[in-house]
Structure formats: C-alpha cells, structure tokens
Chain A
Amino acid sequence: MVARRRKRAAGTSETEILSPPGYSAIPVKFSEKQQSSHYLYIRQHRVREDTKSSWPQKRTLFVLNVPPYCTEECLSRLLSPCGPVQSVELQEKPDLAESPKEPKSRFFYPKPVPGFQVAYVVFQKPGGVSAALALKGPLLVSTESHPVKSGIHKWIRDYADSVPDPEALRVEVDTFMETYDKKIAEEEAKAKEEEGVPDEEGWVKVTRRGRRPVLPRTEAASLRVLEKERRKRARKELLNFYAWQHRETKMEHLAQLRKKFEEDKQRIELMRAQRKFRPY
C-alpha cells in the first residue's frame, strides 16, 4: 500500500491527470496542508438542440465532483482568475431542466447538509470558460486570506445561524398568507362568475358550491358508493339455502384445510432444514 501510494503520488506530479473524455480535470485541495487532492471534472455546458436549458450555452462551465467543503462563494473565488463570474449554482445532481429560480424560504426549507455536488458556473464572458478549461491547479479552497470554516467552527456558525428570528418569520408568513388569501379570493370570485354559465359548447360545470351540491370527485367518495352498493346486494343474497351452496361451503372449508396443511408442511420443511427440532 505504501509503495502504491508513493507511486501514485509520483504519478500525479509527472503524468497528466486523467479525466473522462470531454472533460478536463483540475486538482482541488482544502488547503496547503493536504497531500492528495480531489479532482474537479469540468467542461463547457452543452445540451442537445431540442432540450431547453436555463444556462447560457457559451458562457456556462459545468463542474463535477465539487467537494462538500467547497461553497458557492469559494468556487466563484477560485474561478474568478479566468474571468469575471456572474453566478455559481451548486446542485446535488446535474439538472438540465429549468430549476425553480425563486429562492426558497430559509425558514421552511433549511439548507441540506452538503455532499459532493455539481456546479454550473456562469461567466460574464465566453472567454472565462476556455480559460477555466486550461486551469492547471491545484486549487486551494481555504487560504490564509480567505479561510473556509470547517469542523467545530462551521458547526458553531451554523448553530448561530439556526437560532430563529421570530420577527423575520412573522413578516414572511404574513406576506405569504396575504398573497395566498388574495389568490383564493380571486379564484372564488372567478368560480362564482362561471357558476351556471355554459361554455362555448354549451356544457355547464357543476360544482360543490351550487345550490344543489354534488359528491366531490374523490376516490374515497367513489369507493364509499361502491361499498354501499355491495352491501345492499349482499343483504339480498341467501346463504346456505340451496344444496349446492352447502356443498360449496364444505368444499371451501376443505380447501382451506388443504391450503393450511400445505403451508404447515412447508414450514416444517424449513424448520427441519434449520435444525429447529433439536430441542437442546
């Protein structure tokens, strides 16, 4: 193992760093002290013609394998030598589709614990991407001028951040509820307007709000109706009335016994195999 480690250390310094085809690799380390490094695998963000992507094609750098201690600010700082960075977005997995852009409430969606992530880095100019692809590294996440907190210091900071601010929360809740109430009121007004008004083909929508409310269209409700029907039918049926019914119940009983017997035999067989019959 020692020998192999030495060999690999030598290998990284001399030979070129391997990377998946289409990507280039940049070694990244937490700080000077670390011996070995992770590798960021980067390439220009490209998608097929027909898929939509919110990231600008020419100016976006797609980064794989971002270590957990590397934050958005940090990545932005590391790549800024290649050109001014417009935005950095870290995600758990590559995501081509439009991601919800509006920031989620930090009260209701606390930040998850980071693992290895992927990043979309948007430069202001296309040149930034090519410059980044030529980076040699190794990049250092935490330097003397820009220390990154980890371990105890990070946890204490996180704890302090998590101590809630009730006022801010109240304000957020109030604004949300205001818009929500407004939305509901609008919907109701619209529903009232449409009440009993036929659409272009002449169909009238029947809702619960009308003068004669109907059953809600839920699965539970329809199941309830079916159940009622079944029970009604069962009440009418005569049991053990005809001779063939008698015969059938008896046969059914026998079949149950047979089935049970088979099951039991299987159980015994298994227990025998597990030597469960050795009492001591």
Chain B
Amino acid sequence: MGPAPAGAQHRGTAGEPEVMESALEGTGKEGKKESSKKHTMAGSPVEGLLQPVKLSRAELYKEPTNEELNRLRETESLFHSSLLRLQVEELLKEVKLSEKKKERIDAFLREVNQRIMRVPSTPETEGCFRFLPPAQVTVVGSYLLGTCIRPDINVDVALTMPREILQDKDGLNQRYFRKRALYLAHLAHHLAQDPLFGSVRFSYTNGCHLKPSLLLRPHGKDEHLVTVRLHPCPPPDFFRPCRLLPSKNNVRSAWYRGQSPSGDGGPEPPTPYYNTWVLQDTALESHVQLLSTVLGSASGLKDGVALLKVWLRQRELDKGLGGFSGFLVSMLVAFLVSTRKIHTTMSGYQVLRSILQFLATTDLTVNGISLCFSSDPSLPALADFHQVFPVVFLDSSGRLNLCADVTASTYRQVQHEAQLSMVLLDSRADDGFQLLLMTPKPMIRAFDHILHLRPLSRLQAACHRLKLWPELQDHGGDYVSAALGPLTTLLEQGLGSRLHLLAHSRPPVSEWDISQDPPRHRDSGVLTLGLLLRPEGLTSVLELGPEADQPEAADFRQFWGSRSELRRFQDGAIREAVVWEAASMAQKRLIPHQVVTHLLALHADIPDTCIHYTGGLLDTLIQGLKETSSTGEEALAAAVRCYDDLSRLLWGLEGLPLTVSAVQGAHPVLRYTEVFPPTPVRPAYSFYEHLQERASLLPRPDKPCPAYVEPMTVVCHLEGSGQWPQDAEAIQRVRAAFQLRLAELLTQQHGVQCQATATHTDVLKDGFVFRIRVAYQREPQILRETRSPEGMISLRDTPASLRLERDTRQLPLLTSALHGLQQQHPAFSGVARLAKRWVRAQLLGEKLTDESLDLVAAALFLHPEPFTPPSSPQVGFLRFLFLVSTFDWKNNPLIVNLNNELTVEELVEIRSVFLATRTQLPVMVIITPQDRKSSIWTQDGPSPQILQQLVILAAEALPVLEKQLMDPRGPGDIRTVFRPPLDMYDVLIRLSPRHIPRHRQAVDSPAASFCRGLLSEPGPSSLMPVLGYDPPQLYLAQLREAFGDLALFFYDQHGGEVIGVLWKPTSFQPQPLKASNTKGRMVVSRGGELVMVPNVEAILEDFAILGDGLVQAVEARSERWTV
C-alpha cells in the first residue's frame, strides 16, 4: 500500500496555493508516484499501516482560503466529522451508478420499449383474453429518481394495459390479477424469442404471489448490468377508489371456496390486502411523480435515500414480501420533507439521521402517518386502517397503505435497528460509519436464538387451527403470509418478559423460467424466526398468571393449556402459573425453546418435529465431563463462593504481624472464564505415592497421570508499614516468612490443609485449591528504583517489576472488572469460554493469553454495536469469530472500556498515541482503562504470523458454522470448526492418553479414558493433592527451551493428543560458525565452507527422549522441508 499518506506527502512537497478540495483529488497518479519515491528514500514503511501525519508549520498555519473555510464549516455543520464526510462520499461513489452504465441502461431501455410495442396483438374472440400492446410504457421507481444502488440495479417499467382488454368488474375475485398475468405471459412468450435478451424470467412483485412481473436482462456481457422489471397496470381511473377501501370485500367467499353463491346473505369479510395490491398497481405513476418532485433537484436527499437503502440491506430488512423496501424509505423522506423535518439542502448524512430518528421515536403500529393532506370527508380515517393493518403509512391519495405488507414484527425490528443506530450516532464513536453502514447483520449473528419452521406446508394446517379463513381468502391462499402475523403475536405473548424482539425472515422472492410452473408456497424454503432475548427475564422459570378467581384466569388457562397449574405462593396467593423445568443457567436460557414448542403445538398444530431450534447447540463444547445439563456457570459459582469464604477467613485471621489490606482473585475461574470449571478434588490415596512428612501426594510412575488440579491464584495484599525492608531481596524473604506464617495460622485457626513455599501458600478448602500470593504494594516501586551515577534515584521499568505489577495489580483489577461484567451479562462466561475453547482447539492457545481472549470477549459485550450485547453463548461466539476475522489490528487498538471509565476525549487521545507509537506496540493491541498504553496482555505474543493464522482460521470457521447453524435440517457435526487443521505442521508428536490428565476434555471426548485417582465421595483430606502436574505442559516447556529458536510448538491444553511442530522459516538457513549458534546444530561443509545447520535427525530423536513415556510417536513429514 503505497499511497497511504499520499495526500500529506503531496501537499507537503508541492507548495502550490491549493484548496482542500483540490488536495482531495490530488491523490491521483502524480501524488502516488511522488509518495512512493519518498517512501523508498525514507526506508520501507510497513504495508497498509497508518502513519502519523506530519505537516510542516508553514502548511499548518498558512492563511486559509475562502473555499477551505467553507468546506470546513460545511463539514462541521452538515456532517459529524470530516472523516465521516469522506467516508460517506466514498460509499456513495461505490454504490451509485456511473454515468457510463446509465447510458448503456438507457439504450437498453429504449430497445425494450420498442420491442414491447412491437408484440403483436391477438384477434378479438368472445370469452377469451385478448392482448393489445400497452397504452403506455413508463419507467417508474428508483432508477428514474437516481436513487438506485448497486449491485442489484433494477429498472421498474409500468405497462399500462389498454382499456379495451379489461372489463367493468375485473376488480372482483382476482379477475384483474389473472388478466394481468395472462398479459405478461403473452409478452413473455414473444420477448423470449428476441435475441436482445439474455434471460426472460418471471418473478413476483415484492413477493406478492398474485402479481407476477417479467424480468428482462440484456444479452451477453451486460447480463448482470441491469434487470428490467415489467409491471402491467390498469389504465388510470379504471377502478373506482371507493370499491377498494380496506373495509370492502372484493373476493367473494362463495367464489373462493368454489361453491355456487348460496345467497345466505352473511356479511362478506373485508379483503384489505387484496384491495391494497390492486391499488398499488394504480398508484405507480403518482408515486413516482411525488418522489421526483421531492427528490428532484436535492442531491442530499438522494444521497440520504441511497444511504438508507444500504442501511436496510445490511440488516436484511428490505427483501421479500413485507420488507421495508427502499421505496418505503423514499416515501418516508417525502413525508418528512412535507412535515418540514427534512430540508432539501440537508446532506445525505443528515437525512439518514433524521429518518432514523423518526423511525426510532415513531410507532407506526399505533400512530399511523399519511401523506394525504386533503380533508375530504369521503376518505377513510387512519383508524380504519389501523383496524386491519399492523403498520399504517398512507400515500398521498389517502386510500393506499404503503406499509400494508409490513408485519408488526418487521416494523418493530426496523424500529429497534433505528434506535440502536441512533445511540451509535449519538455516542460519537469513531467508527460509527463502519458499524452503521458497512457491517452486515445476518439473522444468525444478530439474534440470540434462531428457530426454523419446516416444512412450510404445516402452516396450512396452522391457518385452519388458528381459524384464519378470511385472511386466507384475502391473501389468495398464501398461508405463509396469512399465518405470519398471528404466529408472531402468539409467540411474543408467550415469551413475554424473556423476549426483547422477535423477528421473522420474509418469504424470499423467487424467480422462475417462463417455461416452468411458478413456485408454490411450500417451496419457499423455511420460515426462520429470530429471538432477541432479554437476559433479566431469562432467570425465571415461572410464568405467573392471575389469581385463580379472577376472570383472566380462564384466558391464562386457555393460552397455556395443560401447562397451566394452580399454585399456592408464599404470600398466600393462589394463582395460575406455568413452571418450566430448568435447573441450570444453560437450561434456563433454553426455556424459550420449551415455550415455543408448547405454544406452537397447542395453538397452531405444529409438532415439535417441525421446529428446529438453534440456541444451545454449542453448549456441549463447554460442558464438563459428566455434565449434560449445565454449561458450568453453576460450578464456577461454587468455586467463587468457596473463594469468598476463604477471603473471609483471611480477613479475620488473627496473629499476623501486619493486617490484610486486600484479598483479590487473579485466576480465570474467579472471573468465570475458565473453560472447564474446577470440581472439588477427592483423591483416592491408594492411587498415589505419599510424602507423609510434607503431607503431600505424589504421582506414581506406574499409574496413569493423576487428575489435573490447577490452584486458583489469590493475591493477598498486606498493609504498608515502616517495618517492611526497602531492599528487593529482603522483601522477598519477608514475604516468604509471611507465606509460612499464613499457612501456619490457617491450619491452626481453621483447620485447612496448607502448604507454603517461598512465593505462595497453597490452601486446600472444601476440595478447591487456592494459591495465595502475599503482595506488598510498594514492591514493584522498589524493583523499579535505579540509582544514577549522580546519586539521583529514578524509576525505570524492569522486567521483574513489570511482571510483579502485572501479577499483583493489573491481573486482580482485570479479574474483578470481568467478574462484574459477568454479573451484568450472564452470557459473558459462556462466550468467553467458547472463544477460548476454540482458540485453544486450534492449537493457538499458548500464544494468545487467557486475559487477552477474555478481553476480546468482553469487548463483544461492552461494545456490541451494531448489535446488542449477546444473551446466548452461541451468538456471542459467532460475533467473536466475526470480530477476530475482520478487525484491523494493524491500524486500530481494540478498546475495551471496562466500567465505562474512558471518556471520549481520552479515547481520542489513546488513538493518537497509538498511531504515533504503533511500531513499538505488539501486533494485537488491547486497551483497557487500567492499561492505556502498553497492552500488557498481548506483549508476549501473538506474533504477526500467529495472529494472521488466527484471522484466517476465524474467517474460515465463521461461514461454516453459520451455515451449520442456519441449516434447518440440523447442524450436522457441530464440532467441525473446532478440529484443527493438522496438515500444516512439519512434525507431529503423538502423545499417549495415559499421561494426558485432561484427556477427557478433548473436543472429541473419548468414550473412556484412564482412571485419574479421584473418588466420587469425599474421603479424608489430610494430604495435599498433586497440584499443577501436567506432563504435556512440562514436556512443552522443555521442548520450547531446547528448540525454541528452531521451531514452534502447538498444542491444545484441553486434552490434545498431538503436538504440532513447525520449523521456523529461518532455522534451516545455514548459520556462520559462532559459539552462540551451536544449539542443536552441527557443522557441515557447504560449497567448501563450514557452516552450521540444525541436526534434524538428532533433534527428532530428542523429541522422543525428552518425552519418554509420554510420546507415542514422532511423525516427521519430511517431504515438507529440506535442510
């Protein structure tokens, strides 16, 4: 990437009296050339890296020109910031149609016009449909307005059918629609023979199955340039508007059911949807006229509409029947212009903002709006429309509801999105543009739980069960859209407080060839519902109903059916209630599944075999060994409770020379992010060797490796005092004395088993092992002190002081902050653990620290934009993969604003410091309020290559997993993305499961493993269990120490059976003879010169020697390398 700072360089060098405007365009060829020359002179800049801008004083402080000032002022008043302005301009450039293409499209349109007019008419015969060329061919829609966006360029063409072929009562019983279809079929038949068209196909207009339209695409290389859609429409004033009011019936029941008119005189049900569809055809031209007068000359408004279309499309809101289409948005703009909320001079960004603001604050399901301002008493009232349509937005005629097909849930989704976007825009976040307009929000990543209904033909039965015959009649038999509204209402009511938002996929608009039959309703795939859950509501297992003697009780019983029971509550009330079976957090999260299955079976006759619920499929990966119902939140809480008890013991300890000033957890368990929570250890003594005098158990060589017990680190700060020595070595000794004393006192006063070393005290409490580290606040300070030659004492960071600072200060702070986060967002634990599990399963766990991954997971909750914080581990994990695969680590720090401590100004400051010091910072930079500069948790890795590998793996895993989860036939093998690719490694070291203590935690958990010396019942606990003994880790430590400069070693600590070894690319290059180069190398003669190369054969044998007993086989894939 050469031209990064091109503008700057260009401006810096050429001192011409330019304006900002010209500089903007000055990034052309000339600028690039110059800057690349500069770069080569200045040394090689890192590819694609932002450099801090350097402008000379003269440049910065020269007199501004008028134009420059104007532009700056405009940016300040019309846009959020100059960056946003530039971004919006770029985006519009990308999506708008170029002039060149427009010319080609225009040419094509002229051709189409001619061909249509040339289609021969058919002779008039009695009782038959007759074709006559259209009375008028007009282009309508976004193309004419200049608001259509790439990549799908559609040109809508209205064909006015001549009056002669229609008859008076055609509005009745779908006659008009059938004639319309025949008209198109005739056209299609003739146009298909024309070589001008690459394809001639049918589709449904906006998904309405009564209204086909004809799609024409040009031939040859222009095939994807444009799609021309032909919509026949009735001649103006053909239908009498009063016949098409929402309260009128135009589909007779008798005709619909195929009976002869019975004449029983019962009132016919109104057919509002049918009427709307007819009306839509009559209003095509008046709409386009309205829009062209409003948008006509205001380029800002057009930009706004284009931006809104992008916004809708990223949210998958604009497609299908009842989608919130670009046309609706244009009409909304027209509405806001008419109410003076938008002015024609506004910029695109301001239009976007105004519309979002309007959507976020206006509920069209209650207060409809109208573009019609006449006070004609013959016009129906808004209330009439509210009775039959969920969302009301009347056009200028006052008779047509533009939002007729939009369901209430779709509108609520739009509203929800608009609210989120407004929050985002108001927060003045730096990358608001990215999140608002460039981030796709597919259903699977936006909603906590997804459910598919399949096959769709079940909905037909559901319609009957829900008694939706009038709706069916109105919809012309389209049971999917007829049932959609009632079904979503039913589920919304049932899910109640658990639900934040329910969204449904809209039936897709399919295309078909003119020789084929049109697709049937049941062929339109599956109906997918997305649930956005409310975490507060998820914890309850109870659905509280009214008191038994209240009249509402009957409704409650009717709604819940057999699940409703009478219960007596503690306050003495006897109420109807529904209780769901769920013991653990994981099960509680899945109560919506129970609700949905129960309600659909009860009210809609949809059996649970037709419901495919995707919500907890990934739970198995973070379930403990013998767990099937819990995802470990309970086990973690138990450990944390035990830690709380311990900290109380420490606080109340008597006889310590100094008092305890703070007890802080510093282990993943204590922030709920340990992948496999610890269980109380109950060692079977016969399994171990005993070291009686030190009250410890030892592993035995003849037995399988004992269970892995990792002590949980707890930092215990002691008060400051003048008694502490001021010398690092002495402090160490005093701390050791405290460790010993602590162990003694805890054993004496509370009878817990303790073991003290120089740096920590291990405490066995209720089967959990804690590692208490005594800390002295000033110790890092003392380690930092260095004395300059002049006797001045200055503070310099040393590795030891940094390490101590990290372990005793930053780690506890992070742990408590994340502990707090878990209390706010119950799904955090699951997400962080799944994320960690995945990274480790990809064998990259060593390079990415626990803390850094926890922070990335925390970022998903603290900065969820454009989503909401995840409420299920599944969606959180998908977003983790998305974040990892798309985040630009090179040019951005990942800021995790824990507890919201950083202000906007501080964030700006952090970003500029980041840019200035980028080269000294690690590849992955994670900033927290406690760590604003150095990114301590990623200091020691990952390396750029490892990060790159992680990004690639995440980018590959995400679509695979999403596809699996969205597959209505079931996900298949959900563990696929957790299995690491092994073909990239040069050597594979296979380990024997006998000595892998965590073997059962493997992704593909073995059915049986070895006995690990644990009892199921509590036994005596006088001896300390074996702590932190994990042979694979010990082996890896040795390998890395011995061969770390020749190779990289990859391993999954959760039961991995294989270590992947990758030779470093440089390690096979012959090295000159040097004493420091000899490690593991040998001298060979290369072209008469003595050089050192790795002694690969001996090293491969060393792999086996060092891991004697653990290593099963060393597989060298020697075809992959040459020495």
Which A residues have a C-beta under 8 Å from some C-beta of B? 1, 5, 8, 18-21, 25, 30, 34-39, 41, 64-65, 67-69, 93-94, 105, 107-108, 112-116, 118, 150-156, 158-160, 163-166, 169-170, 173, 176-177, 180, 184, 216-220, 222, 251, 254-255, 257-274, 276-280
Contacts and interface: CB of A to CB of B under 8 A. Distances in A.
Nearest to B762: A164
B1097 A36 contact: yes
Given A18-B1090, A159-B699, A268-B87, A113 B1037 contact: yes
B1098 A37 contact: yes
Contact of A93 (B60, B1043, B1073, B1076): B1076
B959 to A, nearest CB: 14
Contacts of B1041: 68, 112-115
A156 B694 contact: no
B60 A258 contact: yes
Interface residues of B, number: 111
A39 B1094 CA distance: 11
Contacts of A258: 55, 59-60
A252 B701 CA distance: 74
Contacts of B53: 259, 262-263, 266
Given A18-B1090, A219-B793, A277-B91, A116 B1078 contact: yes
A18 B1083 contact: yes
A267 B83 contact: yes
Contact of B437 (A94, A169, A267, A279): A279
A37 B1105 CA distance: 12
Contacts of A218: 785, 792-795
B1109 A151 contact: yes
Interface string B34-58: 0000000000000010110101000
Contact of A265 (B86, B310, B1080): B86
Nearest to B726: A184
Contact of B1038 (A68, A165, A184): A68
A18 B1070 CA distance: 15
A65 B1094 CA distance: 12
Contact of A166 (B59, B61, B87, B740): B740
Interface stretch (B133-141, B237-245, B729-737, B926-934): B729-737
Interface string B714-758: 000000000001010110111011001001000000000001111
B1108 A280 contact: no
B696 A163 contact: yes
Interface string B1064-1083: 00000000010110111111
Contacts of A105: 758
23 contacts: A21-B1073, A35-B1097, A64-B1078, A114-B1041, A114-B1042, A152-B705, A152-B1110, A159-B699, A163-B755, A177-B730, A218-B795, A255-B61, A263-B53, A265-B7, A265-B86, A266-B8, A267-B891, A269-B4, A269-B7, A274-B48, A277-B94, A279-B313, A280-B440
B174 interface: no
Interface of B: 1, 3-8, 11, 20, 23-24, 27, 48, 50-51, 53, 55, 59-61, 64, 72, 81-83, 86-87, 90-91, 93-95, 151, 310, 313-314, 434, 437-438, 440, 691, 694, 696, 698-701, 705, 725, 727, 729-730, 732-734, 736-737, 740, 743, 755-758, 785, 791-795, 888, 891, 915, 995, 1026, 1029, 1031, 1034-1035, 1037-1038, 1041-1044, 1073, 1075-1076, 1078-1085, 1090, 1095, 1097-1098, 1101-1102, 1105-1111, 1118-1119, 1122
Nearest to B1119: A1
B1088 to A, nearest CB: 12
B314 A219 contact: no
A152 B64 contact: no
A254 B64 CA distance: 8
Contacts of A271: 87, 90
B1080 A38 contact: yes
Nearest to B1033: A155
A141 to B, nearest CB: 9
Contacts of A113: 1037-1038, 1041
B3 A39 contact: no
Contacts of B313: 279-280
A216 B1041 CA distance: 44
A153 B698 CA distance: 12
A153 B701 contact: yes
Contacts of A107: 736, 757-758
A152 B1108 contact: yes
Given A159-B1026, A266-B53, A150 B1105 contact: yes
Contacts of B91: 277, 279
B1101 A184 contact: no
A184 B694 contact: no
A18 B1091 CA distance: 10
A250 B777 CA distance: 47
Contact of A270 (B48, B60, B694, B698): B48
A41 B438 CA distance: 61
B1034 A5 contact: no
A165 B699 CA distance: 18
A67 B1101 CA distance: 12
Contact of B3 (A19, A38, A269): A269
Nearest to B759: A108
B710 to A, nearest CB: 14
A272 B792 CA distance: 52
Contact of A267 (B50, B64, B795, B1080): B50
A241 B928 CA distance: 40
A151 B699 CA distance: 14
A166 B113 CA distance: 97
Question: Which interface residue of A64, A67, A216, A269 has the most chain B CB atoms within 10 A?
Answer: A269
A94 B48 CA distance: 42
A153 B1108 contact: yes
A280 B1031 CA distance: 48
A34 B795 contact: no
A161 to B, nearest CB: 10
Contacts of B700: 156
B171 to A, nearest CB: 40
Contacts of A278: 94
A38 B1109 contact: no
A181 to B, nearest CB: 9
Contacts of B1102: 30, 38, 67-69
Contacts of B4: 266, 269-270, 273
B1083 A19 contact: yes
Nearest to B741: A170
Contacts of B1122: 1
Nearest to A221: B793
Given A151-B1109, A258-B60, A36 B795 contact: no
A153 B1109 CA distance: 8
A216 B792 CA distance: 9
A30 B1102 CA distance: 8
A199 to B, nearest CB: 15
Contacts of A5: 1097
Contacts of B55: 258-259, 262
A7 B1109 CA distance: 31
Contact of A38 (B50, B732, B1095): B1095
Contacts of A20: 1073, 1083, 1090
Question: Which interface residue of B736, B1043, B1107, B1119 has the most chain A CB atoms within 10 A?
Answer: B736
B951 to A, nearest CB: 14
Contact of A268 (B86, B699, B755): B86
Contact of A269 (B27, B59, B730): B27
B1106 A273 contact: no
B1110 A34 contact: no
B734 A177 contact: yes
Contact of A217 (B11, B792, B1078): B792
Given A38-B1082, A68-B1042, A116-B1078, A264 B1073 contact: no
A272 B743 contact: no
Contact of A41 (B61, B1044, B1078): B1078
